[in-house]
Structure 1
Amino acid sequence: MSDDESYELLGLDNVLLPVGDLGEAVAFYGRAGLEVAFRLDEAGIVLLKVGKEAPGLLLRLEEELGRRQPVWASPRVWLEVRDARAAGRALEAAGIRLLDAPSPVATGWTVEFADPWGNVIGFTDYSKRPELARG
């Protein structure tokens, strides 16, 4: 790439997730503890807050999208939490099925779940590497 074509990545913008029904998706993610930042039904989008950061999870209505199970090749979005094992217990208490038991990773623990359209979300913590965690 030539100098006049170079660019600099400045950070993460929103992560788009296709869903088949906005109302059902908002209810599902609400049970998972994610709050709505804004909702524009006429545009078929809902932005879910991710902590105090401006980018979030952008749910985009894809009406033809049917329910499906996630496949391992599916992209995964992991969100930082203080305690992933506690988050897993809270998800199960809210009626959300975990894909597997909480698992240890290099930085701490993680737990994953899928929405009805097969989008996989993970909650991960930095309990083994607290110096890397957000404040």
Structure 2
Amino acid sequence: MATKQILCIDNVFLPAGNLQESRRFYADTLGLTVKFDFSERGLLAFRVGSDEAAIILKDSHRYPDARPALLLQVADVQQLYTLLAAQGVHFTKKPYRISTGWAAELQDPGGNVIGITDYH
């Protein structure tokens, strides 16, 4: 079963039309602390409580195709990709190498982006 391979929510990505305005909202209004600030690369992340998962804002001017996305940490991207593809799941991005392991992207029936990643 695929759910045994899904370990936790890794991050949530949200587009931001104005990164500084969004920073003020998440930090000052919601009271979240910055986890990392790569504003020069169009990325700004906020901690949510003591969870490792973060809300990561993507500057929609720098990333015009940015859409809300849920990133799930899985045991093995390649293995889960094979399992889900055999069940007919359509992947918008087949497994690809990232600096921390592997990632892939699919869409749920509502068109929401779900990324899967591992740390191998």
Higher strand share: 2
Q: Specify the TM-score bucket, using the shorter chain as the normaliser.
A: 0.3 to 0.5
Higher relative contact order (CA 8 A, sep 6+): 2
TM-score by length of structure 1 reads 0.42
TM-score by length of structure 2 reads 0.47
